[in-house]
Amino acid sequence: MKRTALRALIALVFCALSCVSAFAHASLLKSTPGDGDLLKQTPQSVELLFNEPVDINAATLVDPKGVIGTLKPAAGAGPRVVIPLPANLAQGSHLLSWRVTSEDGHSVSGSVVFSIGRASGGEGQAAEDPTILVSALSGPLVMMRFLLLAGLVFGVGAGLFAAFVAPIGHGRSIALAALGAAAFAALLAIGLQGADAHGQGLLALNDRAMWRSGLRLPQGYASLLLLLAMGCSAISLFVRGRAARILALSALVFVALGLSYTSHSRTWRPESLMQVAITLHIGAVVLWAGALLPLLRASYCEDFATRLQRFSTLAAPVYVLLLLSGAALAATQFLAPREVFATAWGAILGVKLGLVAAISLLALVNRYRLTTPALAGEAAALKSLRRSIRLECAAVALLLAAVSVWRLTPPPSALGARNERAFQVHLHGADAMASMTIRPARVGPVQIRIEPKASDLSPLRVKEIDLYLTPDSPDVAPIHRAARLTPGGQIWEIDGLTIPAPGLWILRLDLLIDDFERTRLDAAINLKP
């Protein structure tokens, strides 16, 4: 009896499986021309081959200008469908959309993109695109960046001067004030970064979720490192000897790590060389520029000659290192496809180079014309030296202000060629979100990068990502592409996609988080020719 029941159960399972197979939807096996094909001449028709007989219901064609036309498929049913095309189609990319009915009665739709002569895009470009990215919190973020940089340079730099050159006496209060200002900026920047990532304004700082999100961003981790640097530097001002030197050097290391972690240049190529260059550049700036205020106060001390000699011994090699590392970083951008000084980043670089030239000139005058007579006790030379140091401090402050604006300006290497600005699209959902970059921001062949994130902006690991791109028309089936995971494990990419026509396109991302959870994210983009 049991054996009979078991046989019946097995037979029932096989029957169910055969039914599932019988009622499977039709799927496209092949199209001619194929999806993404570039043709020399207009084809007479598009042929679709399915895995089972189908009935063709509708076919539409979107031309390179975005005009949607209805096509009349050839009569007959079967797995092979032929859709005649109009003669003399325009050069560029075309989107053929089809809808069929499979044997189980379900409607199935799809699309094929093919190009005639050339892919769409590349002609008739609009005016030069902007190279500065502004949001509701751009102003506060730049202000906090400047306050943070100035506080770190003059606070941590003073601690290094006190530990390795000479005590700074009453200058300790100025150094502590600078460190306090930097700590305030680092803490406030956490909330500002989180709110900015969510597209919110200043009022969003009342939401604790913005602060939690800010902490999960690279800038949040960097703020924690910088706060640690400020703590080490502040303690070093109250101790002496080896302990002061260890704490001061530790502060310098934490500053270099924190600032380089969020710097654009850490991803420039060659990456290993750029990591070294940015770390050395930051360290040299703090060592040299941070010593200017303590040196100015030391000029009023009786042992100024001894302190100046110690500083001069260290200043020359540090300043050379500063110039060489800065030149190496800037040189990488001159190899980018975009002309450097035609971008906002390059304009700020020009301001920075002008200020560096002025500071270098002042440093040369100090070293070769004023230092020797000042050490000899000439009052006029000492007065001129103090004035020159004040000018250097002011120039450093202006330079830090200019560098702070770099937060809003992608470097030329991240912009691509002229008139090929990328779309930065942020897709938000209840349980997940994604940052998407589409380059170039126009019709034609594009590259897409997708970074999925949880609702708190932490990295989100997903199993699959599918992109559906549809013109703003209910009669056209979407272009479907599956993304592939890059070796880094957090970024997904889509290559080989051609967007055929300008106008409004609806984006849909399907994120398979696990075997039981799938999330959908939607957005819209308006593409230029």
Selection from 506, 501, 441 nearest residue 93 by Cα? 501
Confirm if 176 and 200 have CB atoms less than 8 A apart. no
The residues, any chain, with a CB within 8 Å of residue 328's CB and separated by 6 or more, are: 273, 277
Confirm if 520 and 502 have CB atoms less than 8 A apart. no
The residues, any chain, with a CB within 8 Å of residue 448's CB and separated by 6 or more, are: 436, 437, 438, 439, 467, 483, 493, 494, 497
The pLDDT value given to residue 18: 45
Confirm if 346 and 339 have CB atoms less than 8 A apart. yes
The residues, any chain, with a CB within 8 Å of residue 129's CB and separated by 6 or more, are: 419, 421, 441
Distance CA 425, CA 441 (A): 11
DSSP for 359-424, written as a single string: HHHHHHHIIIIIHHHHHTT-HHHHHHHHHHHHHHHHHHHHHHHHHHGGGG---HHHH-STT-PPEE
Selection from 271, 258, 195 nearest residue 226 by Cα? 258
DSSP for 209-221, written as a single string: HHHHHHHHSHHHH
The pLDDT value given to residue 52: 87
Count Cβ atoms below 10 Å from residue 9 Cβ, excluding itself: 10
pLDDT tens digit at each of 529 positions of the chain: 455 554 554 444 444 444 444 445 678 888 999 888 888 888 888 998 888 888 888 889 999 888 888 888 775 568 888 899 988 888 889 999 988 888 777 788 889 999 998 888 755 444 445 567 788 899 999 999 999 999 999 999 999 999 999 999 888 999 999 999 999 999 999 999 888 877 788 998 998 888 988 888 888 889 999 999 999 999 999 999 999 999 999 999 999 999 998 887 767 777 788 889 999 999 999 999 999 999 999 988 888 888 888 888 888 899 999 999 999 999 888 887 778 888 889 999 999 999 999 999 998 998 888 888 887 888 899 999 999 999 999 999 999 999 999 988 888 877 666 555 677 788 877 778 888 888 887 788 888 999 998 877 778 889 999 999 988 777 788 999 999 998 877 889 998 888 888 888 888 999 998 878 889 988 888 777 6
The residues that bridge with 97 in the sheet, in sequence order, are 60, 111
Helix (H, G, I), strand (E, B) or coil at 525: strand
Confirm if 98 and 109 have CB atoms less than 8 A apart. yes
The pLDDT value given to residue 11: 47
Sign of CA dihedral 341, 347, 348, 354: positive
- Which amino acid is it at 58? A
- Which amino acid is it at 194? G
The pLDDT value given to residue 21: 42
Give the angle 164-168-169 at the CA atoms, nearest 5°: 140
The pLDDT value given to residue 414: 72
Give the angle 7-11-13 at the CA atoms, nearest 5°: 120
Claim: this prediction has a pTM higher than 0.85: no
Confirm if 152 and 226 have CB atoms less than 8 A apart. yes
Q: What is the 3-state secondary structure (H, E, C) of 421-490?
A: CCEEEEEECCCEEEEEEEECCECEEEEEEEEEEECCCCECCCCEEEEEEEECCCCCCCEEEECEECCCCC
Scanning the structure block, which residue is given the tokens 């044997």? 103
Count Cβ atoms below 10 Å from residue 142 Cβ, excluding itself: 16
